[in-house]
Amino acid sequence: MDKRNRIIAIGLIGIGLLLLSGKWISFFTIVALLLLLLGIYRIRNGDIKKGYIFLGIGAGLIMLDHLILVVAICLISLGLFYGKSKKVQTEDGFIQKTSFMSNFDWDQSPWVIRSMSIWHVLGESDLDLSLGMPEERETVIMFQGVMGDLDLDIPDYYGVEIEAFVLFGSINFDGKKDSGMMNRFTWISPNYSVSDYKVKFIVSYIVGDIDIRLT
């Protein structure tokens, strides 16, 4: 990691931890945590819609009662992003973007597959690799943030590697869904080593919904 990114990452994480060092336990916090736990329980038992409603209400209460806490979480997430981005992007020339809200509709028309690192507070991404035009033989695409919704379609002629983590939410891989808390998923396509074009996806959200389909 270069010196500038290292300083930014350490600074953001440090500020976030300082903000978190205060006392956050209150009646609203307890209610919010109970709603979050209830939401996770509902999702794990198949009641997806109600589960996400409870998660949303719980998150909303935390935001209303602890705005500084939310800011701290965002700063820590952003600091971790800067630290990880330079580590996973080993080649120069990659795109790095940070924003409050982002939306990528890369499933409607041809798009250029290039190495990039994206961070957002709220993000929705729809990617269809069959419409992608690779810029290089090997590409790393990283999505990270607070809340995100990712839909990814993978054709069989690409070599694809996936590392995905969702603290709260679900990961659905070709019809097999894991929901709840601390979901982690890794996968490498069988043809990865012999593929002419390889794409690695690194996805990490605090609250997220990831859908991966093989086409």
pLDDT in tens, 97-115: 998 888 899 999 999 999 9
Q: How big is the chain, counted in residues?
A: 215
**Structure-block tokens of residue 147:** 């809340």
Average pLDDT, the chain: 82
What is the predicted pLDDT for the residue at 111?
94
Mean pLDDT lowest for which of 17-26, 75-84, 96-105?
17-26
- Note the pLDDT of residue 150: 93
| Of the candidate ranges 27-31, 112-116, 208-212, the one whose mean pLDDT is the lowest | 27-31
Please provide residue 117's backbone torsions phi and psi, each rounded to the nearest 5 degrees: -125, 120
Q: What is the pLDDT of residue 122?
A: 84
Percent of the chain residues past pLDDT 70, beyond the cut: 80
How far apart, in Å, are the Cα atoms of 132 and each of 54, 111, 119, 141, 158?
37, 5, 21, 13, 10
The alpha helices in the chain, defined as continuous H runs, are 3-20, 27-44, 48-65, 67-88
Question: What's the mean pLDDT in 179-204?
Answer: 91
Q: Which of 214, 188, 182 is nearest to 201 (CA)?
A: 188
Least confident interval from 161-165, 168-172, 210-214: 168-172
Per-residue confidence band for 170, with pLDDT thresholds at 50, 70 and 90: confident
Whether the pLDDT of residue 22 is over 60: the answer is no
- pLDDT at res. 7: 58
